[in-house]
Amino acid sequence: MSEEKDYFESVGAVFSNKDLLRIETIPESDSRIIGREKQLTDLASELGSAMNGQKPNNVFIFGKPGVGKSMCSKYLLRQLVGRGADNGISIGVAYVDCMQNSTETQVIVTAGESINDREQTNVYFPSGGVSRSRLYDRLWDAFDQLYDVGIIILDEIDKLEDPNETLGTLSRAGESEKLDSCQLGLVGISNKARFEQRLGSEVKSSLTQNELVFPPYDAKELLEILKARQDAFTESVLDEDADHVFATAAKFAAKEYGDARQAIDLLRKAGEIAEREGAQTLQTGHVEQALDKAEEDKLVKMMQTQPVQSKYVMQAVALTARHAPTGEVVKSHDVYAKYEQLTEYENVDINTLSWRRVRDLLDELEDLDVLQQQRKGAGKGKGTYRAVYLTDSPETVLRACENVE
């Protein structure tokens, strides 16, 4: 009998602590938090009164995706809970992802479940069958029974369906005597700097929030962030080329508006590719493969929101570019010829659009940053033509189009 194959043999050869490269992981130490000392200090100043049993300020935190807003908030509030406990103050923190919980009822239920201990309070939060006002009463009751201070984090606060109603009720809980003893503060996190414009004057008056802005990371900071997580990998997989591997991932992420989340995710995916290949060391090629896959996934996600005809136009551009002689630009009329071929001969269920409509689709795709167009001269007396350039490689675009459902 042949020996049974161990399919898990390569697992663990690359990663020693993969969780360090998980986006949802909150660092245990601020040594892994790079370039955010000022923001942490400012946020601590806004919320610090809570550790003495006093009401913290309401705070809105703004910044582009992947700049550490959620991570820093969770890290600091975990520390705040500990400092409060040292002072004999019980602090309850409710985290609500408004992308997943956008209605007022969902916010109440999620916040209530986050801070509640049903055995102590005899309070529960069903998702249906109870009026909103009763749910609020239960939320206030749970906070009063369990905590001296409560803080509700509303992440992606701009996704709330009715921010005026939700924030108005939460911010006035103390003023309207809904809470007997617990002091309540709010932390709103958003990528949208203009979110506040959606709020009415009464809500703004009751919130009286302060605002913090998290700037994008630069390439140097992104590199430090990745190096601070290098113990996610086994020592043997990182050779003398490791610094170049980290620098490559940081450089790619820096191009995407200083997104640390993307940099960390890119490094994890590179490690997974190395693991699947059974590689002895992590190489820049693994990062490049991970980037290609990330770009492909992004294209698929974008194309799924577009008309099916846009997919055929993108395929036509990619196929024309792939077969074009080296150094020769892709011309829009050649793209249309390839598009006609795809729709007329290879897919009988798709109507072939006119050149004018395909030109409009090319303009729309340019607005989505998946391609660029430039008008060029064809030579003396020959007029002009449109040159079309893909943002990604033809192979990446074609794979993405194949994966669009």
Percent of residues, the chain, with pLDDT higher than 90 = 75
Instruction: Cite the annotated binding site by residue number.
Output: 67-71, 217, 229
> CA 322 to CA 350: how far, in whole Å?
23
CATH classification (class only), 36-213 = alpha beta
User: How much is the pLDDT for 347?
Assistant: 64
User: How much is the pLDDT for 272?
Assistant: 94
> CA 81 to CA 79: how far, in whole Å?
5
User: How much is the pLDDT for 380?
Assistant: 73
* pTM metric for this prediction: 0.81
The domain made up of 234-302 has a fold known as Helicase, Ruva Protein; domain 3 (1.10.8)
> CA 130 to CA 216: how far, in whole Å?
43
User: How much is the pLDDT for 108?
Assistant: 97
Instruction: Cite the annotated binding site for ATP by residue number.
Output: 67-71, 217, 229
User: How much is the pLDDT for 10?
Assistant: 65
In this predicted structure, the answer to whether residue 376 has a pLDDT above a threshold of 70 is yes
Using an 8 Å Cβ cutoff, are 253 and 289 in contact? no
Q: Is 302 exposed, middle or buried (0-12, 13-18, 19+ CB in 10 A)?
A: middle
In the DSSP assignment, the letter for residue 90 is -
User: How much is the pLDDT for 317?
Assistant: 96
Quick one: average pLDDT of 163-179?
93
User: How much is the pLDDT for 1?
Assistant: 56
User: How much is the pLDDT for 254?
Assistant: 87
Least confident segment among 252-261, 319-328, 364-373: 252-261
Domain boundaries, the chain: 36-213, 234-302, 305-403
In this predicted structure, the answer to whether residue 271 has a pLDDT above a threshold of 70 is yes
Pick the closest to residue 400 from 316, 324, 293 (CA basis): 293
What average pLDDT does the chain have? 92
For residue 287, which phi and psi values (nearest 5 degrees)?
-65, -45
Q: Kindly report, residue by residue over 18-71, the tens digit of the pLDDT.
A: 999 998 899 998 999 999 999 999 999 999 999 999 999 999 999 999 999 999
User: How much is the pLDDT for 326?
Assistant: 77
Pick the closest to residue 151 from 104, 182, 186 (CA basis): 186
Using an 8 Å Cβ cutoff, are 49 and 151 in contact? no
User: How much is the pLDDT for 316?
Assistant: 96
> CA 17 to CA 65: how far, in whole Å?
25
Q: Kindly report, residue by residue over 63-113, the tens digit of the pLDDT.
A: 999 999 999 999 999 999 999 999 999 999 999 999 999 999 999 999 999
For residue 14, which phi and psi values (nearest 5 degrees)?
-105, -45
Q: Residue 53 region, left (φ>0) first, then alpha (ψ -120 to 50), else beta?
A: left
CATH classification (class only), 305-403 = mainly alpha
